[in-house]
Amino acid sequence: MKFAKKFEVDKKEARITGLFHDIARDLKEPKIRSYAIKFGYEPDYYEKRNILLLHGAASCYILEEENIGNDRIYSAILKHTIAEKNMNSIEKLLYIMDFAEPKRKYPESKIAYDILSKNIDRALFYVLKTTLGYLLDENSIIHPKSIKLYNSMILEGGYNGKINY
């Protein structure tokens, strides 16, 4: 809630996305896939190979069934697992806060939180870069949408070279 006003995000929408974005995360894979499809989400090649990426869409289905949320909330929840170009403030905020939640134990979480207190786009870049590094270290697939976002931030966003956060 601390950052909702700062980045012109509706507080009620921020609260709903924060509370419910992972509501389907611990479901069994077949149920995650089924709920995502029932929500109308068509998994792509990469999501079919990493079903956990679909838990945002499955969470949206649960919320929709309970008449909770709206298109802005659903969009933010969908994008909290895969960052992509042209994200709006609520989408960026959820993506960042999912990584930078104060209860997280890793040091990068605090760094991201501190950067967010100054600049949402710098925080987005930091979280994206840190997440991509982790995925590379783990030999995990990286969704092309996230690679496109990273490249666009480098080429068009002025994030090339050394960044002073």
DSSP string spanning 126-160? HHHHHHHHHHHHTT----HHHHHHHHHHHHTSS--
| CATH number of the domain residue 85 falls in | 1.10.3210.10
Residue 163 predicted with pLDDT over 90: no
Q: Does 4 map to a domain?
A: no
Comparing 106 with 162, which gets the higher pLDDT? 106
**pLDDT per position as a tens digit, 48-58:** 999 999 999 99
Mean pLDDT of the chain: 95
The overall longest dimension of the chain from CA atoms, in Å, is 46
For residues 25 and 52, the answer to whether their CB atoms sit within 8 Å is yes
Q: How wide is the angle at C-alpha 27 spanned by C-alphas 100 and 149, nearest 5°? A: 40
**pLDDT number for residue 107:** 94
Q: Does 79 map to a domain?
A: yes
Comparing 142 with 161, which gets the higher pLDDT? 142
**pLDDT per position as a tens digit, 21-49:** 999 999 999 999 999 999 999 999 999 99
Query: For 43-49, which contacts have Cβ atoms below 8 Å and span 24 or more sequence positions?
Result: 46/141, 46/143, 46/144, 47/143, 49/141
**pLDDT number for residue 159:** 78
User: What's CA 120's distance to the chain center, in Å?
Assistant: 13
Structure tokens at 106: 């890793």
Q: Does 146 map to a domain?
A: yes
The lowest-confidence range among 2-6, 11-15, 120-124, 150-154 is 2-6
Give the total residue count for the chain: 165
Q: Does 22 map to a domain?
A: yes
Q: Does 165 map to a domain?
A: no
**pLDDT number for residue 151:** 95
Number of separate domains in the chain: 1
DSSP 164: -
**pLDDT per position as a tens digit, 95-132:** 999 999 888 989 999 999 999 999 999 999 999 999 99
Structure tokens at 53: 């990426």
| pTM flag (> 0.85) | yes
User: Domain range for residue 62?
Assistant: 11-155
**pLDDT number for residue 165:** 66
Tell me what the mean pLDDT of segment 152-156 comes to.
92
91 Cβ neighbours under 8 A, 6+ residues apart:
75, 76, 79, 80
